[in-house]
Amino acid sequence: MIGNVRVRVFGLLCVVALVSVLAVVVAGHAQKGRSVKTDAKKASAALEAGLQAQTQGKLDVAAARYHEVLKFDPKNKYAIYDLALIDAAQRNFGLAEDKYRQVLAIDGTYEPALFNLAITEKSKGNDQAAIDLYERAIAAAPKDPAAHMNLGLLLRSTGKVSAGDAEVKKAISLNPNLVDPAPPATTKSSIASPTVTP
């Protein structure tokens, strides 16, 4: 009888202990959930403040706000990308490139980072890397006329004229305000010939 009482008391104590542990775990998750929501709100507010400062040309203030975003959300591709734009505006192209790559490590289809990294690669003479990035940008945003135009011009410059012409044509079809920057083909009759007077 006493043994049964001990087993029941021990069993009851185990149940009480388990319920207590579960209550602590549930409370911890609830608190963490509130903390995550609070952090998300803080990150969102800081991102919005950064965008506003950036549009006003207050790049240092914007950068500070974006760094604040990253304290709450270290993988916020928008804050990292906007920091890259600030780096580029301040002619810190190496830092901008690093941040574009960081964004793409988070989201390999983020078209603005693909597009700007393609420009960076082209400026370094890495034409094939730029072509690959423009193609990825177009895959992510097929209706971006700027990506089609840049890819087309780059393809032309690397000797892939027909593929380049197709991309330029696609860009113009997407945005009729664009103009093909290639000079018009000249014919023999349109070439001025020197005149010789005796």
Q: Is residue 153 part of a domain?
A: yes
Regarding whether 72 and 39 lie in a shared domain, the answer is yes
- State which residues form the domain around 60: 35-95
3-state secondary structure of 185: coil
pLDDT value, residue 17: 44
Is the distance from CB of 85 to CB of 51 less than 8 angstroms? no
Regarding whether 113 and 90 lie in a shared domain, the answer is no
Residue 184 CA to residue 168 CA, distance in Å, equals 14
Residue 146 CA to residue 111 CA, distance in Å, equals 11
Residue 68 CA to residue 57 CA, distance in Å, equals 18
Q: Domains in the chain: how many in total?
A: 2
pLDDT value, residue 32: 47
Q: Is residue 173 part of a domain?
A: yes
User: Which 8-state DSSP code applies to residue 189?
Assistant: G
The CATH number linked to 113 is: 1.25.40.10
Q: Is residue 193 part of a domain?
A: no
Regarding whether 172 and 135 lie in a shared domain, the answer is yes
Burial class of residue 93 in the structure, from the number of CB atoms within 10 Å of its CB (0-12 exposed, 13-18 middle, 19+ buried): middle
pLDDT value, residue 8: 52
Contacts 24+ apart (CB under 8 A), 47-51: 47/76, 47/78, 47/79, 50/79, 50/82, 51/82
Regarding whether 127 and 70 lie in a shared domain, the answer is no
pLDDT value, residue 193: 44
Q: How confident is the model over 47-74, as pLDDT tens digits?
A: 999 999 999 999 999 999 999 999 999 9
pLDDT value, residue 51: 94
User: For residues 16, 19, 25 and 30, what is the CA-based torsion angle, rounded to 10 degrees?
Assistant: -130
Is the distance from CB of 106 to CB of 87 less than 8 angstroms? no
Orientation angle between helical segments 77-89 and 59-72, nearest 10 degrees: 150
Regarding whether 112 and 91 lie in a shared domain, the answer is no
pLDDT value, residue 164: 95
Q: Is residue 170 part of a domain?
A: yes
Regarding whether 129 and 79 lie in a shared domain, the answer is no
Residue 113 CA to residue 96 CA, distance in Å, equals 10
Residue 172 CA to residue 166 CA, distance in Å, equals 10
Residue 63 CA to residue 87 CA, distance in Å, equals 9
Residues in the chain with pLDDT values less than 50: 5-7, 9-27, 29-33, 186-198
pLDDT value, residue 185: 54
Whole-model pTM over 0.85: no
Regarding whether 167 and 119 lie in a shared domain, the answer is yes
pLDDT value, residue 38: 76
pLDDT value, residue 81: 97
pLDDT value, residue 37: 73
pLDDT value, residue 29: 45
Is the distance from CB of 168 to CB of 145 less than 8 angstroms? no
Q: Is residue 194 part of a domain?
A: no
pLDDT value, residue 80: 97
